[in-house]
Amino acid sequence: MLEAIITSSCASQVHPTIVNAIVKTESNFNPFAIGINKGAGRLSKQPTNYAEAVTVAKQLLARGANIDMGLAQINSSNMTWLGLTVEMAFHPCHNLQAMQTVYLHCLQQAKKGGQGTLEQRAWSCYNTGNTKRGFANGYVAKVTHNFNFFAGMAQKASPQKMPQNEPVSSQKGVQAVVATQLPKNAQNASVGNTEQNNTTLPTPPKNTPENQIAAEPVAKVRYSWDVFGDF
């Protein structure tokens, strides 16, 4: 689980429970995670440090691969409009800032209505670039599960009412959903997905909310990539 100081500094416009739910689903809190969508085979092992992650990612991109990078698995096709370099993509705070930009853009798309809750439609968009497909491929169900888990943890740690900070509209958790097909055409496919993607989000309008922050980011097993010692 990400420290509150990190979520509040790097993605202050997104509720920390949502940040944690997305990051858990995407990379299991691995800041050096790389997901390959197309253009190369699966990695034999994930990078274990920042320098290795940057090197491997650059090698894959040079070969024409489409990849997802870092905590929130930012897709390489979105780097230009997000203003990211490979080095920035593996920097926890820059990665979360990019996640925030994509999520807020998706939140605007989700307000047009459709299946599930506002948040669930935004999660679908984050994964597929579409507010519908994430329900069918199982991604929304995974983020919903993780969101409700972290919301429950927050309530136990702090019995008082959670802050009403948009975009969270309910503190009772988000309704569960059931996938109707295997993951397919995911925009920000999580590292463990067997079917990957290369769908790119459209460039947001000029008035899309942009993050203006800068700073640095629970499993029970100690992982080699756990540079923060939180696990």
Domain parsing of the chain, residue ranges: 4-156
* CATH class of the domain whose range is 4-156: mainly alpha
Contact 77, 66 (CB under 8 A): yes
Count CB neighbours of 212 within 10 A: 8
Residue closest to 179 by CA, chosen among 148, 141, 206: 141
pLDDT top residue among 130 and 189: 130
Average pLDDT over residues 195-215: 38
Measured CA to CA, the distance from residue 37 to residue 166 in angstroms comes to 32
Residue 11 has pLDDT above 90, yes or no: yes
The predicted-structure confidence for 35-64, as pLDDT tens digits, reads as follows 999 998 889 999 999 999 999 999 999 999
